[in-house]
Amino acid sequence: MERSPRQLVPGQSERGRDVHRVISHIGVRAMEISKRMKSIPPYIFAEIDKKRQAAVARGVDVINLGIGDPDQPTPKHVVDAMHKAIDNPANHKYPPFGGTKEYREAVAAWIKKRFGVTMDPATEVTSLIGSKEGLHNTIMAFIDEGDINLIPDPAYPVYKTSTILAGGEPYFMPLLEENNFLPDLDAIPADVCKKAKLIMVNYPNNPTAGVADLKFFEKLVAFAKKHDLLLCHDLSYSEMTYDGYKAPSIFEVEGAKDVAIELHTLSKTYNMTGWRIGFAIGNPVAIKALSSIKSNVDTDIFRAVQFAGIAAFEGPTDEIKRCNELYIERRDLAVKELKKLGWDFKPIRATFYMWLRTPEGMSSAEFAEIMLDKAGIVVPPGTAYGPGGEGFFRMGLCVDKDRMKEAFDRMAKHEITFDMKKKAKV
C-alpha cells in the first residue's frame, strides 16, 4: 500500500523523513561534482593509505615507509608554550589575518638569524596553515585560465592539481638524475615561457632529495626576471641537511625579492606536521596577494599554535640536531641493506626521503604493489609525483632502525631485489 506523505518508514524520525524528501527532489544535476573536480585524480596518498588500511584489516603487519611524517615528538618547550597559551582566554578568539604581530616578528628574526636575510614583518611575511595550503593559495592567487605554471617533474602533487583547479596548465620541467635533479631551464621552449606566469621549485627536494646551491638559485632568479615570472620556492626541508650541506634561501641571491616568494613550514623541522603552521616571505606584492586570497578562505592559525611556533623559533635547536642524527643513522642503515639487495645509489644529503630506481623492466606501480602484497611494506610509486617518476619509488626514513631493518629482511626473504626481474627471466 502506498504511504501518504505524512507516514514514516519504520524507525525513521520526522527530521529523517524531511531530509529524505529534500534529497529526493534535488535530482542528479545538483549532486554532480564540478568539472574542476573531475579534472584532477584522487589524491594519491589518500589512495595509498586506503591500501595500507585494507592490508592492516587483513591482519598484515604493515611497515609504512611511504610517509613524510616525523616519528619523533614535538619538542617539549614547544608543547609547553602551547599549554600556557591555550590556558589564556585571550587566545581563544579569532586570530588576526596574516598572523599575529608577535608571530611575524619571530619569523623575521629567525630568517635573519638563519639566512642573514632581512624581511619586513608587516609587509614581507604572512602566516600559513602549513605550507600545503600556502602552495595551493599562491597558485590560486596568480594563475588564471590559460596561464602556464612551470613545475618540476617529479614533484609534490599539489603543484599540479592546484594549477589545474585554477584553470591553468602545468608544464613539466624534468628532474633527471644525470642533472642532479635540477631542471634544465634552457630547455624550456620560448613559447612556453611567454605564456608562463609562475615557476615553482623545491630544494631540498621532495621526492628526489636533490639539493641546490646558490649558483643554481642565481640562474633561477635571472630566468624569472627575464621571463617576467613569479618564482615560488618551497623550502619545507631547510633544516634537514647532512654531511656538511646547508640549504640556502632563495633570498640569499641579490635581487630575488623583486620576483620571488618562499614558503616554509614548521612541520618537518620541529616535528609539527599535525599542528598546521608555516609562513611565507618575500616580495610584498606577492605576499599581499597571498594574504588577500587567504583572508577570503580561512581564518588563520589558532593563536595558541602561533605562540607554540614562536617558542620553536626562539628555543634550543638540540632536538633538530638529534633528529638529524637519527635520520643519518637510518639513511646509513638503508644504504648498507639496500646495497646487499642490489641497489647502488648515493647517500642523500637532505630530507628524509630516498628516491630509488625500481628493478629494470618493472613499473613503479608494479613494484609498490609487490612490496605491499609480498612483504607488507608501503612505498609510494614514483608516478605519484608525476610522469617523470616512472621507474622510481620513494622510501622514507620515518620509522626506527629496528623496524627499517625488519623491512629489509622481509625484502630479502621474499627475494625483492634490484635484479629480481632479471632473475625471473632466467
Pair 310, 375 in one domain:
no
Mean pLDDT over 366-384 rounds to: 96
Is pLDDT of 132 > 50?
Answer: yes
Residue 327 falls within a domain, yes or no? Answer: yes
Pair 249, 292 in one domain:
yes
Pair 166, 180 in one domain:
yes
CATH code of residue 387 = 3.90.1150.10
Pair 306, 326 in one domain:
no
Pair 297, 337 in one domain:
no
- Mean pLDDT of all residues belonging to the chain: 93
pLDDT in tens, 291-343: 999 999 999 999 999 999 999 999 999 999 999 999 999 999 999 999 999 99
The number of domains in the chain is 2
Q: What is residue 17's predicted lDDT score, i.e. its pLDDT?
A: 53
Range of the domain at 362: 44-64+318-425
Q: What is residue 368's predicted lDDT score, i.e. its pLDDT?
A: 95
Pair 343, 295 in one domain:
no
Residue 17 falls within a domain, yes or no? Answer: no
- State the Cα–Cα distance between residues 156 and 150, nearest whole angstrom: 13
pLDDT in tens, 377-420: 999 999 999 999 999 999 999 999 999 999 999 999 999 999 98
Q: What is residue 50's predicted lDDT score, i.e. its pLDDT?
A: 86
Residue 241 falls within a domain, yes or no? Answer: yes
Q: What is residue 36's predicted lDDT score, i.e. its pLDDT?
A: 86
Q: What is residue 104's predicted lDDT score, i.e. its pLDDT?
A: 98
| Cβ-based burial of 71 (10 A; exposed 0-12, middle 13-18, buried ≥19) | middle
Pair 251, 387 in one domain:
no
Residue 254 falls within a domain, yes or no? Answer: yes
Pair 247, 343 in one domain:
no
Percent of the chain past pLDDT 70, that is, above it, reads 92
pTM (predicted TM-score):
0.91
Pair 364, 223 in one domain:
no
54 vs 239, residue with greater confidence: 239
Residue 23 falls within a domain, yes or no? Answer: no
- State the Cα–Cα distance between residues 93 and 96, nearest whole angstrom: 9
Q: Which of 314, 333, 350 is the last residue of a domain?
A: 314
Q: Which of 279, 314, 349 is the last residue of a domain?
A: 314
Residue 170 falls within a domain, yes or no? Answer: yes
Pair 261, 351 in one domain:
no
Percent of the chain past pLDDT 90, that is, above it, reads 85
Look up residue 131 and give its three cell numbers. Answer: 605550507
CATH code of residue 298 = 3.40.640.10
Q: What is residue 42's predicted lDDT score, i.e. its pLDDT?
A: 77
Pair 242, 385 in one domain:
no
Contacts from 176-181 at CB under 8 Å and sequence distance 24+? 180/210, 180/211, 181/205, 181/208, 181/209, 181/210, 181/355
Look up residue 398 and give its three cell numbers. Answer: 620515518
Q: Please tell me the least confidently modeled range out of 31-35, 216-220, 258-262.
A: 31-35
Q: Which of 314, 346, 375 is the last residue of a domain?
A: 314
Pair 302, 328 in one domain:
no
Q: What is residue 43's predicted lDDT score, i.e. its pLDDT?
A: 75
Residue 193 falls within a domain, yes or no? Answer: yes
pLDDT confidence of 51, banded at 50, 70, 90?
confident
Residue 218 falls within a domain, yes or no? Answer: yes
